[in-house]
Structure 1
Amino acid sequence: MTEPLIQLRGISKSFGDRQILDSVDLDLYPGEALVVIGPSGTGKSTILRIIAGLLPPDSGEVLIKTQPRRGLVEDDNERIRIALVFQQSALFDSLTVAENVGFFLLEHSSLSREVIREQVADKLALVGLTGIEDYYPAQLSGGMRKRVSFARAIMSNPHQPEDNPEVILYDEPTAGLDPIASTVIEDLVRRLQKSPGGCGTYIMVSHQESTIRRTADRVVLLYDGKIQWQGPVSAIDQTDNPLVRQFFEAKVEGPIRILD
């Protein structure tokens, strides 16, 4: 059986006296599209930050290709490159699109600026944005900024393929977008999964039903710090799990408590 790329084992995390994650176990397999769902404030983005190595768990361990990670991402010699697409795109306002997309190569390679610009153009073309290298983020729409952040996430070094991203973490990639722009992003996520030069494995956090249904192979529902249900996206409409039913039917009454 294929070994998981990433494993969470007994992951717990609290902020003050509030426990966010409680002994969570989770596996991510090569080529998988995993979407983590649940009501707001239940730790979905916290899981992404722990997987990315940006936030330490209070207990438990993260295994990368079956080997435990030691410390945070800057402390450990990671066995894979994990890219994170932030909810608000997190582009540098003072840098051009080309400088934003090429940031990884500018900072971590000896490639010439000409070669980096060629790589930037290739990635922008892959996300459907040709010829905007010299624009600044403020000149772009919200959907375009999202796509620029995708291009940055999949940036690769042609001379060092071991540095290419093997996993992308998407934090609410369609948040704040209108339905048409959301569909563009959902289609792009799937296209990047299957395209040469993209990335075949991802974990996404989302609460938007269209995004969940269009981008997930497997769905995990997180609530009260624990994984309460998981299954293929096709099982959403078949399960009798009351948490899943309340979440997708948007009912006020049910086991999910409404946060004030």
Structure 2
Amino acid sequence: MGEPLIELRGVSKAFGDRIVLDEVDLAIYPNEAVGIIGPSGTGKSTILRLIAGLIAPDAGEIYLKGQRRTGLVDEGKDPFGVGMVFQRAALFDSLTVDENVGFLLYQHSRLPRHQIRQQVERVLEMVGLPGTGDRYPSELSGGMRQRVSFARAILKNPDNPADNPELLLYDEPTAGLDPIASTVIEDLIRKLQCTEDGCTTYAIVTHQHSTIRRTADRIVFLHEGKVQWEGRVEEIDTTDNPAMRQFFTGSVDGPIRVAG
């Protein structure tokens, strides 16, 4: 498959006395759609934050295009940009859609305001929300807010192409949405993978079975801080891994302990 776009080697992370990730190995290759799944509290979102460079591992190494990361993303040493879509959109309520999507360009670029607005409108059109730039998050549905967060993640910086995302990270993008809104988001994730201006590589954390099956090509299953299973999405129904079978059937019996 060639060189990974991003690779975790023996990565561990703890918060206080709680070990969340325990010597995890994970590789994501160009043009992949990887689903990271598993029970709650097993470190899925932590992996995304490590990949994004928002937090550092306690042990192990992270490589981007074969280059070892030595700091966090704000130190500007990464060879490519990583975009992240957070749970429940994570928009600034006091800012308009335009200001939310273009936040980094307004704060950190030398582009004139009218040019940033053009860039923002272009990505809003890509996510199916043209003409919404002057509205506030409170005026939008949950699905629309999530699409605004997608636009923010894929916005490019003409002043610094090195910052432009080659990898998108989705953290529970359909959480709290009704089935129809979830389908819209799932279709959009796939659409953005195939557009020239989108990102052809992404990793998605989700609990929803429909989202797993419709957005991922390869699955990484985490449990008790370790990768317990990897495989193609079509292997979900044939695997004999007991934790995977319990996860997808929702059974209370199996190796995944049910919190009482």
The residue number in structure 2 matching 1:68 is 68
Distance 2:258 2:146 in 1: 30
Distance 2:157 2:59 in 1: 35
The residue number in structure 2 matching 1:116 is 116
* 1:159-202 per-position Cα deviation (integer Å, ceiling 9, x unaligned): 54333110111000000000000000000000000012111111
User: What SS does the aligned partner of 1:74 have?
Assistant: helix
Deviates further, 97-106 or 201-210: 97-106
Gap regions ≥5 residues in structure 2: none
The residue number in structure 1 matching 2:16 is 16
2:155 corresponds to 1:155: yes
Distance 2:164 2:3 in 1: 20
The residue number in structure 2 matching 1:220 is 220
Deviates further, 151-160 or 133-142: 151-160
The residue number in structure 2 matching 1:245 is 245
Aligned residues: 260
The residue number in structure 1 matching 2:235 is 235
Q: What's the TM-score once normalised by structure 2's chain length? A: 0.97
User: What SS does the aligned partner of 2:150 have?
Assistant: helix
Deviates further, 83-92 or 156-165: 156-165
RMSD: 1.1
Q: Would you say the 8 A contact 1:55–1:72 is kept in 2?
A: yes
The residue number in structure 2 matching 1:198 is 198
The residue number in structure 1 matching 2:179 is 179
User: What SS does the aligned partner of 2:74 have?
Assistant: coil
Distance 2:96 2:114 in 1: 15
Q: Would you say the 8 A contact 1:69–1:78 is kept in 2?
A: yes
Return the letter of the residue paired with 1:201. Answer: T
Shift of 1:104: 2.0
Q: Would you say the 8 A contact 2:8–2:61 is kept in 1?
A: yes
Distance 2:196 2:74 in 1: 28
The residue number in structure 2 matching 1:46 is 46
User: What SS does the aligned partner of 1:134 have?
Assistant: coil
Return the letter of the residue paired with 2:187. Answer: D
Q: Would you say the 8 A contact 1:69–1:76 is kept in 2?
A: no
2:5 corresponds to 1:5: yes
Shift of 1:76: 4.8
Q: Would you say the 8 A contact 1:70–1:76 is kept in 2?
A: no
Shift of 1:26: 0.2
* 1:132-163 per-position Cα deviation (integer Å, ceiling 9, x unaligned): 11001111111100000000000012454333
The residue number in structure 1 matching 2:189 is 189
Q: What's the TM-score once normalised by structure 1's chain length? A: 0.97
Q: Would you say the 8 A contact 1:104–1:155 is kept in 2?
A: no
* 1:8-37 per-position Cα deviation (integer Å, ceiling 9, x unaligned): 000011112211110000001011100100
Q: Would you say the 8 A contact 1:48–1:169 is kept in 2?
A: yes
Gap regions ≥5 residues in structure 1: none
Shift of 1:73: 1.5
The residue number in structure 1 matching 2:97 is 97
Shift of 1:220: 0.5
Deviates further, 91-100 or 209-218: 91-100
Return the letter of the residue paired with 1:48. Answer: L
Distance 1:156 1:48 in 2: 20
Q: Would you say the 8 A contact 2:36–2:205 is kept in 1?
A: yes
